[in-house]
Structure 1
Amino acid sequence: MNIIKSNNIIVLVVDDSPESLGMLNAALNEAGLTVLVALNGMQALSIVEKVQPDVILLDGVMPEMDGFDTCQKLKEKLPSTPVIFMTGLNDSEHVVRGFEVGGVDYITKPVVPSEVLARIRTHSHNAKLAKSAQAALDYAGQYIFCVSVNGELEWATPHAQELIGSLQEDLVEKWAHIKPAIAQWLAGNERDTPLTLPEMNEPLHAEYAGDYDQLHSLIRLVKPKQLGTEADLQQALNVTKRESQVLYWLSFGKTNWEIATILEMSPRTVNKHLEQIYKKLEVDNRTAAASSAIRILESS
């Protein structure tokens, strides 16, 4: 009887030990999983070019390309696929390094099949939930990234990837420049304030969009609104230059006294300009006039 009920779960096992590969292959196949095997990092990278696994089991110590370098290259191709490290080392430094390069979990050798299956079940389920959320966000046209607490990019909606790709640089290379600022911003107390990303070829802001599974954060990329000018108001609404200036500051919620101070006129003169503005815009009050101005300023 299968220990885990799977719906075509594909697991890629990367280990330079044929004995370890054979044992895991038998245990996972018996549990109803589809197993792909690779003896080294290069074979693993070749496999993922053709088939996308749901979970990757990766030996931490291998000759030539070790598991940590392999993980980094795999995450470039499959940022949302969970990687579980397998290691016979008790050194915490290697465990930490595994997480730093994108691993989500680790198990120690000799591995226990039931433990491996439990980890696969958990991380496969979480990854599918993440992909469902990602698909929903992309369907809604959202430019969303999911990042770890240290700013590592975990996944991005296709819309977001296209946005970065349109800026003439590879997504992974571009994110390497952004990551330090993202990590510092997330660690601080100013998440409510959008983060300006000067590394981009065009102005972009990062907005905090909430936590994901307590270990990751969702970040929305937005293009700063380019407000129109007083001249736009004058042309669109057929008002005088002075009236457009009054209306411009009115759209920012300024009082008559504040507008008078800014434009160096008396509050009474401001009020006279407003009376003419109301007539020309065919509105009854300052709120309606400000709303008309805002629509034009945001669409300019």
Structure 2
Amino acid sequence: MVVLYVDPNVEVRSTRVASLAEQGYTVHEADDAETAVGVAQDLPELNVLICEGVLGEFTGFDLRDAITEKFPALQTVFTSRYDLTGFEEAINGCPLVYDPVPVSKLISIIKEAAAVSGAGQNAVETAVAVAVSPIVQAAGPEATPVVAQAILATAKVARPSAPAPVP
């Protein structure tokens, strides 16, 4: 199971990434949406995105939309230090876990998704929904992909190109 963990707080991110890696998951990390899109572009496989809802210029919601262009079956779990009431449309039905986020809850959600991963996307979505506790919220309709395209464009521009081969 390949996980991308995105959080601007280095201490929080490193602690949670280490805990997930101890469970045997392949965990990649990033501190912002732009970096995360770059990481995702280089991955051949990505199963779960765990990210802070509020990341800065681009949100975790924008990030999810950008990455699902390459990985349509991606499962996303949002974490948040802030009250995200009013962001139900952007959350788009993904699990939302408020801080303090128990790492055991993240592990539980990932294990449930892995247990049914061979059964197809709908089964994985059901497993994620079943795994969430009362501290997790889920919400409404589709988010706009326009900003997601901006993230992809930014990531492509910001990434250095390979040096020209020496003749």
TM-score (norm 1): 0.38
Q: Percent identity?
A: 25
| Higher RCO (CA < 8 A, seq sep 6+) | 2
Partner of 1:116: 106
1:95 shift after superposition: 4.4
Partner of 2:31: 39
Q: For 1:1-300, list aligned pairs within 5 A.
A: 9-51=1-43, 52-99=45-92, 104-130=94-120
Letter in 2 for 1:76: E
Point out the structure with the larger helix share. Answer: 1
Letter in 2 for 1:81: L
* Residues 31-57 of structure 1: CA deviation (Å, up to 9, x unaligned): 121110011111111111121221110
SS at structure 1 position matched to 2:13: helix
Q: Is the 8 A contact 2:8 2:55 kept in 1?
A: yes
Runs of 4+ aligned structure 1 residues displaced above 3 Å come to 124-128
Please report the RMSD computed on the Cα atoms of aligned residues, expressed in angstroms: 2.6
1:126 shift after superposition: 4.1
Q: Distance in 1 between matches of 2:95 and 2:116?
A: 13
* Residues 127-164 of structure 1: CA deviation (Å, up to 9, x unaligned): 44216x9xxxxxxxxxxxxxxx95x6xxxxxxxxxxxx
Cα 1:95–1:117, aligned 2, differ >3 Å: closer, same or farther?
Answer: farther
Query: Gaps (5+ residues) in structure 2?
Result: 124-139, 147-167
Q: Is the 8 A contact 1:87 1:107 kept in 2?
A: yes
1:90 shift after superposition: 2.9
Q: Distance in 1 between matches of 2:49 and 2:77?
A: 6
SS at structure 2 position matched to 1:89: coil
1:28 shift after superposition: 0.6
Letter in 1 for 2:107: L
Cα 1:58–1:128, aligned 2, differ >3 Å: closer, same or farther?
Answer: farther
Letter in 2 for 1:75: T
Q: Is the 8 A contact 1:10 1:55 kept in 2?
A: yes
Partner of 1:248: none
TM-score (norm 2): 0.66
Partner of 1:136: none
Query: Gaps (5+ residues) in structure 1?
Result: 1-8, 134-148, 153-171, 174-300
